[in-house]
């Protein structure tokens, strides 16, 4: 992950953790349970949608009681948001140190990897749900603002409107989250990746 991105992820994780965990810091068993909850939340949301990912369903998948979730997360929204942050980390992990302006191309291409199908579904569900869930909208808004600063740091110095560039990139990535829904138009993932990279290169030109 590029060094400029690491603070944004760290801030998102710290904000979620400080609001989520109660009582003593988790021991190894607690950390394992928290990881299972993230897996269960991501799977439930990807399969059943945001509303279908109830605490009861998440607890069932994780093998804990619904009440036990509150030992790790303050609310269902906090848990699903944390699962989303972890999902995004998996996307950005493909970016090597020092990637610079090329980082955006690599992230966009990573969104379309077959193994990230559930990640795409999870992120799409979270963004759609944020339109009607104020708490989730606040969490995602904080994440977007942090990452906007990180992305602007790698834009070419001559960019006339960095905010517009970053917002356009975010919208492109959000659209890629719905890749699996657009089945009526036939195309190979590789061909779509090529077109996406062309779009990103137009937004963020690589240095000569």
pTM score, whole prediction: 0.75
Which is it for the CA torsion 191, 192, 193, 199, positive or negative? positive
Question: Tokens 């030109």 map to which residue?
Answer: 205
Tens digit of each residue's pLDDT (9 = 90 or more) over 151-189: 888 888 888 999 999 999 999 999 999 998 888 999 988
* Token pair in block for residue 102: 């090329």
Domains of the chain (ranges; CATH) run 6-203 (1.10.357.10)
- Mean pLDDT value across residues 66-83: 92
The runs of H, that is alpha helices, within the chain are 6-20, 28-52, 55-62, 76-92, 103-110, 117-130, 134-152, 162-176, 189-203
Least reliable range by pLDDT among 53-62, 99-108, 125-134: 99-108
Band of pLDDT at residue 14, cut at 50, 70 and 90: very low
Count other Cβ atoms within 10 Å, centred on residue 41. Answer: 28
**Tens digits of per-residue pLDDT, 18-51?**
444 444 444 556 788 999 999 999 999 999 999 9
Average pLDDT, stretch 133-153? Answer: 87
pLDDT for the residue numbered 100:
66
């Amino acid at each position: 992950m590029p060094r400029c991105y690491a603070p944004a992820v760290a801030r998102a994780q710290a904000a979620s953790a400080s609001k989520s965990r109660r009582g003593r810091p988790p021991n190894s068993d607690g950390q394992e349970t928290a990881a299972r909850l993230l897996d269960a939340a991501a799977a439930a949301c990807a399969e059943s949608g945001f509303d279908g990912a109830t605490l009861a369903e998440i607890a069932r998948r994780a093998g804990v009681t619904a009440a036990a979730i509150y030992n790790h997360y303050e609310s269902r929204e906090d848990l699903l948001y944390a699962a989303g942050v972890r999902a995004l980390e998996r996307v950005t992990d493909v970016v090597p140190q020092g990637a610079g302006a090329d980082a955006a191309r690599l992230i966009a291409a990573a969104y379309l990897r077959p193994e990230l199908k559930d990640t795409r579904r999870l992120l799409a569900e979270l963004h759609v749900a944020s339109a009607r869930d104020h708490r989730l909208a606040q969490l995602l808004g904080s994440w977007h603002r942090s990452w906007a600063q990180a992305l602007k740091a790698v834009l070419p110095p001559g960019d006339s409107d960095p905010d517009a560039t970053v917002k356009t990139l975010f919208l492109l990535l959000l659209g890629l989250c719905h890749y699996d829904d657009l089945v009526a138009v036939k195309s190979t993932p590789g061909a779509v990746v090529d077109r996406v990279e062309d779009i990103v290169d137009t937004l963020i030109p690589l240095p000569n």
